[in-house]
Structure 1
Amino acid sequence: MSWKRGAYPEFTLEDAVAVLFMLQNPTGRKAISEALNLGEGSVRTLLRKLGNIEAISSAQRGHSLNRRGMELLEGISRHFSEARRIGKIEGHPAFALTVREPGEFKSIELRDEAIRFFAKGAMILVVKEGEPVFPEDGRPLSETMPELAERVKEAFRLEDGELVVITWAEKEADAMKSAYHVALSLKGEVLPEEIKSLVR
């Protein structure tokens, strides 16, 4: 048996980013553990590290971002949004987020990234005239999946040129984290240094 296993945090940068978005409201350790499908020990370690960089306050009702934490979250939010639940695709929970100024990208590579991160599937769309469209042929999502297109438009204030990342997976946590994974594969370089330090 490996006695060292406990020494290594079992969480990823995707978990750290998800927790920052979650802690906009006071949240308990158990709720974080369930939402991210993480062990309580890993959640404890992650919260301790967030405490070490003075990003959170802890109270009876749970943990929440303090002013420093909100500044860090704003630094992330300038590049991509919170992942939001947008119903189901192929019977699986689906999440979406938007990425600002995505730069050059290949849809197929981003889809592969999501699937490598436990997604069952992913869609990469670009916003044109307020509509999410498939970049390969400019076809609006509303043509093939009108309900999904509506849910995306309800969840986000879409701005032209943004990327919309939609991912789905067997587990909610995997659907959410694979969306963050795609955002981080595009924007990981520009994350605040303190956030990157959480997983070192």
Structure 2
Amino acid sequence: MIKTFIYQLSETILRGEEMSWKRGAYPEFTLEDAVATLFLLKTPRGRKQISEDLDLGEGSVRTLLKKLAKLELIESKQKGHYLNEKGLNVLFQILTLFSEPAEVEKVENMPTYALIVKNPPQFKSIDLRDEAIRYFAKGAMILVYKAGEIVFPEDERPLKETLPRLAEDLKKLSPKEGDLIVVTWAENRADAIKSAIHVALTLKKNELPKEILEVGE
């Protein structure tokens, strides 16, 4: 009976911890969350909506928004939080490095997002794919735009030969010669978006505006 009671107590504690996490009792967030939030706040959004969009606890979102406000990047009104002039300037600087993740043709029937990394440094595709998976993606493709085609950098094989609909979607992102294209997919939309951002940050973190880097400090 004592063992049964201890087991039930342990289960209750674990369920309580899980519920607390879902309610956002642990205010933790990543640089990827901060960048994704800047993209979201081009239009006003409430804290609950941000929490749902990023699959992030409301406590974490509250802390993140407080930091963004302290850095004078966002303001609030009845409709929600939004980027002010300084915040829009920081976002513009980020967009000179990589684009906002865009939803594209599904891969493996999962939510799939893509972004363009501009003027990429030298990279190894396998390392970048590993980074995406480490950040909760189920899979990733690292592609480049070369001579008017989206190709795999290892052998310059055109993506359209195997995934023509995805290749067509990616061309709508208007890549330029030499651009790197990150495609990530995951079981939920938030993980697909943030894993793509994670790959971009792996390549471009050192070029980010200091204001966004300060959010994570």
Deviations 1:3-41 (A, max 9, x none): xx9997411000000000111111111111011100011
2:40 counterpart residue number: 22
C-alpha distance in structure 2 between counterparts of 1:153 and 1:116, whole Å? 27
- Pair 1:9–1:196, CA change in 2 (3 A): farther
Say if 2:103 and 2:112, in contact at 8 Å, map to a contact too: yes
Pairing 1:35-184 to 2, within 5 Å after superposition? 35-154=53-172, 156-184=173-201
- Pair 1:192–1:85, CA change in 2 (3 A): same
Residue 87 of structure 1, CA deviation: 3.3
C-alpha distance in structure 2 between counterparts of 1:60 and 1:66, whole Å? 15
Deviations 1:129-183 (A, max 9, x none): 23211000101111110000111112x1110100000000111111100000000
Q: Secondary structure at the match of 2:177?
A: coil
Identity %: 60
Q: Secondary structure at the match of 1:89?
A: coil
Structure 2: gaps of 5 or more residues: 1-12
C-alpha distance in structure 1 between counterparts of 2:124 and 2:180, whole Å? 12
User: Max radius of gyration: which structure?
Assistant: 2
Q: Secondary structure at the match of 1:189?
A: helix
Structure 1: gaps of 5 or more residues: none
- Pair 1:8–1:193, CA change in 2 (3 A): farther
1:193 has 2:204 as partner:
no
Q: Secondary structure at the match of 2:202?
A: helix
Q: Using structure 2 for the length normalisation, give the TM-score.
A: 0.87
C-alpha distance in structure 2 between counterparts of 1:172 and 1:178, whole Å? 10
Say if 2:73 and 2:83, in contact at 8 Å, map to a contact too: yes
- Paired AA for residue 109 in structure 2: G
Deviations 1:52-106 (A, max 9, x none): 0111121111111110001111111110000111131101100000000111000
- Pair 1:8–1:34, CA change in 2 (3 A): closer
Moved over 4 A (4+): 5-8
Q: Secondary structure at the match of 2:111?
A: strand
Q: Secondary structure at the match of 1:139?
A: coil
C-alpha distance in structure 2 between counterparts of 1:95 and 1:53, whole Å? 29
Q: Using structure 1 for the length normalisation, give the TM-score.
A: 0.94
C-alpha distance in structure 2 between counterparts of 1:93 and 1:66, whole Å? 30
Q: Secondary structure at the match of 1:57?
A: strand
